[in-house]
Structure 1
Amino acid sequence: MEAYNRFRTLRKPLGVMAVSAIALSSGVALAQDAAQEESQSRGVRTRLETVITQAQKVESSAQTTPIATTTVEGDELRRAFVVDLRDLTNQAPNVMLEPVGAFQNAAAFSIRGFGTADIESSADPSVPVFIDGVYMARNSTSLSDLLDISAVEILRGPQGTLFGRNTIAGAVLVRHNKPDTSDFSVSGSVEAGNYGTLNIEGVVNVPVVEDKFAIRLAAKSSNNDGFYKNLTDGSNYGGADRITLMPSLIFTPNDNLEVIIRGEYVRERNDSWANTPYSVCRSDANGNFSPLTSQTVPLIGWAYEGNSITRFCGQERGKQDFVVEHDNTSGRGSDFDVKGLTGEINYSIPDVGTITYVGNYRDVYEDVYNDFDTTPLPIFMTRRQQWHWQTTHELRFSSDFSDTIEFVGGVFYFKQHYRMEQDTFGWLFDPNFGAALGQAIGARLTGGANPGQYLDALNPNSAGFGETIHDHEAWSVFAQVNYHITDSLTFVAGVRYNQESKDIETCAPATVNSFVLRECNTNPNAPGFNYFDSDTDILAGNKNKWNDIGPKVGLNWQATDDLFLYASWTRGFRGGGFNGRCGSTQTCQPYDQERADSYEVGMKWDGLDNRLRVNLTGFWMEYADQQVGIIRSSAGSGGGQETVTDNAADAVSRGIELEITAVPADGLKLWMTGGYLDAKRTDFCVDIDGPSTVNPGPASGSCDPDNAFSFVSGGSTFFIFPTDNSNLPLVRAPKWTFSAGLSYEIPVGSLGFLEFAGDWRYQSKSNQASNGVPAGSIAGIPNFNGFTVTPVRDAAHIFNASMTFREIDDRYKVSFFVRNLTNERYLQSLTAVATLFNFIQDNNPRTWGVKISFDM
């Protein structure tokens, strides 16, 4: 992005910061433990601090909480120069917090081999984000900037009893700092780095009435020019332009009542994601490019411009610069507007317990363009406009009833409404496309003049319109009891009842729908008809309501003052739903809920006078009816492809997780994590290729004969034929993950302290296909250029390093940092779009920056 645009974007937040005396601090947050704060201001770290978790809906020490949880507090967020949640992947074992790709803020979080990589609101997350206790229903805004954070917690394994539906693989809890009613403070930072990075952040806290009422304002502006060069026009590409404002207030009229109100405003005017080609370009008998057996986009490229086809095909990562070749993207980007309001009330009844209410309303508008064909030709592009609102309400009661019983329970209500309009446009939607491509191929084969003239005559603005309207309502009741059998032995029992309903109207992008009127064609006799309404089109035996009971049983043993042991069984649950991007009435049908039984044992130990901490967890998870999303060929959707979710698989996940933290000498902190994961499908019966006009034969040849069927669409008969694909690996489930880091702080005379910090993460190879798996073997498909197109990411090492000087009284800090020090490059996400094309997103290259921060 140009410097002028960046300055223009910054004027408003800079004015707010100046008036408020803000300047900011990228991750500097209040510590949880007051004694630790005082120790840090006096000198270097001498021991490990107490870590507070809210993994059981009440505050407790993480070392006596029977859950596999990793808490990253404000100081550690600052040290890691965290921007958003993806920067925390290296903090916990068997965890991958990554982007979906293709959409700037969409998250593809996976824990212990299970996760979700779908941006649609019709698909629920399996690792959701909770912000200040509020469930975020969608993946699409989970990677917004973090600002004024107290702590982030990563909970591994099902959390359904206390956190509800869709926490089947785990949960990520984000907690912001509360306003402080006793101290006025101003903190701020400015960060500048390569790729045009300029981030400005500030927080001001004002106690209006001492110990009674305070207000707080946090603001951040973050900008970069993008990590890619667009060869089509020479511009930088993939940049971000974000403004985040978070006002809050707290009112504590007496010792028993606390009221917190938080606001949220996010404005993003980003480039669209930088997609790069990864298409299948097969070879003929002579080892040359074979256009007619390759995917459609490289075929079009060959017909248009001849044998300079390599740039349309998959290539080895690391063998080329960070470049893309998108067609004209002027005026097109990835725009987000988020507005939210959260209220929290805590009322303590002396000698009885605490009543807590958390309520939220959140409204999101998105307008996202994408050039998915990843070429300079106008072949296949999309514009998605999405409107979404959600409201959540939770009322709970927690109490230490006696010396032997602790209780937490409550009720929860959730509702959301979502509407998406998708325009899919380009040459593929011109009614003359087939004939023009045939003429271009003929001219290319016979050596005719300018084969591209036939494709150039097509209208690049030809479009197919699609729409999805989705309503969802859910409620639940829950309770958990800790019964202290003895002073050291505790029995845990919990249960949650969930009930939900969903309704959907959808039509896939197609020319049969009205681009001008912005509506679906509901006439079943219209050629290309693909409208589905759950109120009228659900087939016999299907449903749009689901319910579930999620229990938990556990046993905790405080073996010694330093050693805590636990064992538990938990059942997780993810609700059923509808396919929001299906292509026909038959494939739009609902899919059912999925369940997971998790067995876990753990040990948490602190020793050597709080200088060493060792946590060890073993787990076994059994998944039933796992929901799997697949992009495949379609009988009715625009562009000949559809995205469907089905209860296609059973799976098992088992492994070990180790976390060690130590302060072996004053000022020196060491940490490491290690995860071993054996996660695999035990059953995966699905039609990966999608509806086919070829009869595959008797249904007895299918792994699921009851779901082998045929249907008529557009006057043609299509066949669905599930086959056994259990050999295909789970997505984002590497066998090994390791990370380690250190920070070493030394005095610099009477001026302050100099800290050196660094960390490393290793991840073994893994399947990175965002939506299920592409058609074909995990071994991949050989290209004519010698490269094999495969969804497997090779093993990768990532190193980060930093150096920080902090003044003796912590009033200011100056830092220099480098991320991805060795400039490692790897496939981060792959989307295989049926027979049309494949595209991928890479990780970020090496970045560096200088950050100046203060705290007054």
Structure 2
Amino acid sequence: MRGIYRAGLLSGIALLAVTGAQAQESGASTSATARPADAAANQDVEGNEIVVTARRTSERLQDVPVAVTAFGGAALAARNVDTLDQIAKYTPNIRFDGAAALSGGNYNATVFIRGVGQNDFAIFSDPGVGFYVDDVYYARSIGGVMDAVDIDSVQVLRGPQGTLFGKNTIGGAVLINTTQPDLNTTSGRVEATYGRFDRMDAKGAINIPIIDDKVGLRISGATLNRDGYVKRLFDGETQGNRSAQMVRAKLRIRPTPDLTIDLGADYTRARENSAPSDLLAVGNSPGITGIPFLVNYNRYVAPSRGIIAPNGQPTLNPSYITDSPYETWAGGPNDNDLDLWGVQGVVAYDLGGATLKSISAYRDMKAYFTRDGDNTPFVFRQTTNRDKQWQFSQELQLTGKLLNDRLSYVVGGFYFKEKASDIATADLAIGLWAPAAPPPYTPAVFIQNYTNNRSYAAYGQLDYEIVPRLSVTVGGRYTSDKKIFTSINTRQRDNVTFVNVTKDATFKKFTPRVGLNYKASDDLLLYGSFSRGFKQGGFNGRPLDNAGEVTEYAPETLDTYEAGVKAQWLDGALTTNFAAFHSIYKDIQLTVNQTPTNFVANAAKGKIDGFEFETVMRPARWFTFNAAVGYLDARYTAVGAGLGPTQVLPITVNTHFVKAPKWTLSSGAEVSHEFSNGGKMALRTDLTVYSRIYHDVANSPLITDDGYSLVNARLTYTLPGQAIQLSVFGTNLTKALYLVSGNVSGAFGLAEASYGRPREWGVSASYRF
């Protein structure tokens, strides 16, 4: 794996040395603004004229003084993106992983941008990166690994976002726009895919004008099915499969040219097995020390269970470690269910020189996911979670221009209400409460956590052109977040409720943004900015001993100084963009999951320096090349203390940030040929390279990736007439072995990991009408 990583890094750096800098997207297949239905896949964007909505108005990407990467729907398809976590492979300084540690849920996301994010799926932990789908904020990381079905564009904004969006997000924001109805044209698209692991996907969308220029309806849906890629040797089942269905309906009503009403509804249903898992170490292995639960379990409990390990012993021992990372002896529950739905209404009214917009939404989530954390037939470390959540949000926004368009403004107000519950079990060393077993007794518990959140905010941003080509940006946001948290925990050994506590707190903050932007020419933008990000505090929800463990942790803040250059050359054939930043990170909310020690505490201070450097080249119509490199130097400058006697932070000032590789690199090339009969052949290849990645806050060597490379390819033939398209593709062609999450518990003497998908191939056919 190290050899592949080094070779990929060297080849990627060589490519960058030839071509220069930072890019947002392949001009051959991208436009990141809403367009008429089905136009995205056929859009041929000359000169890389990508349009984004990063500042709540449609602008050329090259005119936006923000570090943003944008992908159109066709660009996502060309890169084999079928779930949105895969966009991280083509975006610098972002980690977007599923299968969050300790969860067992495939769709439970952990997202970090520039080293800032959240590594926990729990309902009491708030994400550090915000997700907006059609302007609606999604509050939970559960269900965050969304399917890329009928997507018009995805935009990744790096750095604190708060003066333009409903919910403040400290690390960055991901804006997902689904395809809007076309009011005049009947159209549609169907696609079928077959591939490895008996993959059978079907996707479709249809656009129906109901009243020309007045009312249009778009309905899209998909069924996604794939066998798991990890085999459970105990019972023959698999992990990491796909079995999901989704449907979305969007109705656009335009009764007058000044008034647009967008109504939408969506539903996703998944009935899958648990996320992939693999046992890495048992007992006295490197990186694991102090194993009292495992020693006592093997002495007093395991021999009475009638379970024989592969080495013939009646104990939980290292013989359960398999030779293949895609095999496990797990014998516990194997479920991963999700029901996710929502409705929304967006009303936009043109006032003449200004637009008033209302965004109303309700969303509902139910999830059930399980995990066999010991990866054996024993009931030694298993968890189940039944989570429910609903949210309501209302945003009002006014955008416009004044003073002969020299002044642009956005002002808004945001209200958010959420209730969520997590009913869980932690079956830990079951049996250690028996009279023959001495302490430590099992901390196995029934868990009931409830959270009731409310948020108010007012925000605004002004962009004023001081003199021609020189403008200043001033923005601010006031946030008031209130949390009410209840934790009820019952010990399994004696059915005693040892925690029953309710706590509440309100977190208020003003966060500013200022910037200076100089448009030296139509093709050259220079900018500098300062922004402050804020994430509310909260309460620990994993007590295993007493109510004192339900401690309150403080909000965290991030001050970011950024400077950037965006340039186009050679009549748009070459785009080079660069952004450098320095961030001061305070009261970092550090998640420690080393069962039975699980908590969040503020890890004092840190600094993050880095840059993003991207380029797109299109020297000829038939050839496009893009490359990107991200660099991060994230470090602690001071280390705090835990909030209670059992909360010991496993870090020093020399510890590395979690999910913050120093280098991320991607490059891709697309070659196409148009035949005389009107057909077109296109071949695209992509390379992604990561340097070392630490998957837990303690930098445990057992779950540290030394670095790896991923190679994907797709060959597409479009038949004459452009209606039928045939493709063959491959992902992870070099069979790289890499982690998406992992966990090490010294007290239980175990280390486990979830590996990413192996090499896969597929064929697809689509028809457009």
TM score, norm. by length of structure 1: 0.80
CA deviation vs aligned residue, 1:733-777 (integer Å, no higher than 9, x gap) = 1111110001111023315011111000111012112xx33xxxx
Match of 1:697 in 2: none
Match of 1:21 in 2: none
Distance 1:279 1:192, change over 3 A: same
| 1:202 matches 2:157 | no
Candidates 471, 485, 489, aligned match of 2:466: 485
Contact 2:610/2:632 (<8 A) preserved: yes
* Higher CA-based Rg: 1
Match of 1:683 in 2: 638
**In the aligned structure 1, how far is the partner of 2:295 from the partner of 2:679?**
60
Alignment of 1:709-724 (within 5 A): none
**In the aligned structure 2, how far is the partner of 1:315 from the partner of 1:682?**
41
Letter aligned with residue 107 of structure 1 = A
Contact 1:46/1:665 (<8 A) preserved: no
Match of 1:538 in 2: none
Letter aligned with residue 729 of structure 2 = F
Match of 1:73 in 2: 72
**In the aligned structure 2, how far is the partner of 1:312 from the partner of 1:128?**
42
| 1:621 matches 2:583 | yes
**In the aligned structure 2, how far is the partner of 1:684 from the partner of 1:140?**
30
**SS of alignment partner, residue 580 of structure 1:** coil
Match of 1:325 in 2: 329
Alignment of 1:416-815 (within 5 A): 416-425=418-427, 427-428=429-430, 431-432=433-434, 435=437, 464-508=445-489, 510-511=491-492, 521=497, 529-534=498-503, 544-583=505-544, 584-632=546-594, 641-687=596-642, 725-769=652-696, 772-773=697-698, 778=699, 789-815=701-727
Distance 1:848 1:546, change over 3 A: same
Q: Which stretches of structure 1, 4 residues or longer, exceed 3 Å deviation after superposition?
A: 28-42, 45-49, 289-317, 719-724
> Could you tell me how far 1:681 is from its partner in structure 2?
1.1
Match of 1:402 in 2: 403
Match of 1:270 in 2: 272
Contact 1:184/1:205 (<8 A) preserved: yes
> Could you tell me how far 1:279 is from its partner in structure 2?
3.3
**SS of alignment partner, residue 430 of structure 2:** helix
**SS of alignment partner, residue 609 of structure 1:** helix
Distance 1:726 1:48, change over 3 A: same
Distance 1:83 1:509, change over 3 A: farther
Alignment of 1:803-842 (within 5 A): 803-833=715-745, 835-836=747-748, 837-842=750-755
**In the aligned structure 2, how far is the partner of 1:680 from the partner of 1:39?**
41
Total equivalences in the alignment: 727
Percent identical pairs in the alignment equals: 27
Contact 1:820/1:847 (<8 A) preserved: yes
Distance 1:750 1:724, change over 3 A: closer
> Could you tell me how far 1:173 is from its partner in structure 2?
0.7
Distance 1:87 1:374, change over 3 A: same
Of stretches 389-398 and 606-615 in structure 1, the one that deviates more from structure 2 is 606-615
**SS of alignment partner, residue 153 of structure 2:** strand
Contact 1:427/1:433 (<8 A) preserved: no
> Could you tell me how far 1:307 is from its partner in structure 2?
9.1
> Could you tell me how far 1:97 is from its partner in structure 2?
1.2
Match of 2:47 in 1: 48
Match of 1:182 in 2: 184
Letter aligned with residue 531 of structure 2 = T
Where structure 1 has 5 or more consecutive residues not aligned to the other structure, the ranges are: 1-27, 284-288, 439-457, 515-519, 522-528, 536-543, 634-640, 688-706, 711-718, 781-788
Distance 1:313 1:239, change over 3 A: same
Distance 1:752 1:275, change over 3 A: same
Alignment of 1:59-458 (within 5 A): 59-99=58-98, 100-101=100-101, 102-163=104-165, 165-282=167-284, 294=291, 296-297=293-294, 300=297, 304=303, 305=308, 308=311, 313=318, 320-329=324-333, 332-350=334-352, 352-403=353-404, 404-425=406-427, 427-428=429-430, 431-432=433-434, 435=437
Match of 2:5 in 1: none
> Could you tell me how far 1:30 is from its partner in structure 2?
8.4
Contact 2:52/2:61 (<8 A) preserved: yes
> Could you tell me how far 1:162 is from its partner in structure 2?
1.8
Contact 1:832/1:839 (<8 A) preserved: yes
**In the aligned structure 2, how far is the partner of 1:206 from the partner of 1:238?**
37
**In the aligned structure 1, how far is the partner of 2:557 from the partner of 2:40?**
46
**SS of alignment partner, residue 78 of structure 1:** helix
Q: RMSD of the TM alignment (CA)?
A: 3.0
**In the aligned structure 2, how far is the partner of 1:218 from the partner of 1:676?**
38
> Could you tell me how far 1:532 is from its partner in structure 2?
2.1
Contact 1:249/1:261 (<8 A) preserved: yes
Compare relative contact order (CA 8 Å, sep 6+) and give the higher one, 1 or 2: 2
**SS of alignment partner, residue 76 of structure 1:** helix
**In the aligned structure 2, how far is the partner of 1:573 from the partner of 1:111?**
14
Match of 2:757 in 1: 844
Contact 1:358/1:393 (<8 A) preserved: yes
**SS of alignment partner, residue 75 of structure 2:** helix
**In the aligned structure 1, how far is the partner of 2:673 from the partner of 2:294?**
58
Contact 1:227/1:844 (<8 A) preserved: yes
**In the aligned structure 2, how far is the partner of 1:435 from the partner of 1:259?**
66
Letter aligned with residue 72 of structure 1 = F
Letter aligned with residue 66 of structure 2 = I
> Could you tell me how far 1:381 is from its partner in structure 2?
1.7
Contact 2:589/2:603 (<8 A) preserved: yes
Distance 1:426 1:766, change over 3 A: closer
**In the aligned structure 2, how far is the partner of 1:844 from the partner of 1:727?**
32
> Could you tell me how far 1:321 is from its partner in structure 2?
4.5
**In the aligned structure 1, how far is the partner of 2:298 from the partner of 2:736?**
30
**In the aligned structure 1, how far is the partner of 2:287 from the partner of 2:75?**
53
Distance 1:513 1:558, change over 3 A: farther
Of stretches 746-755 and 161-170 in structure 1, the one that deviates more from structure 2 is 161-170
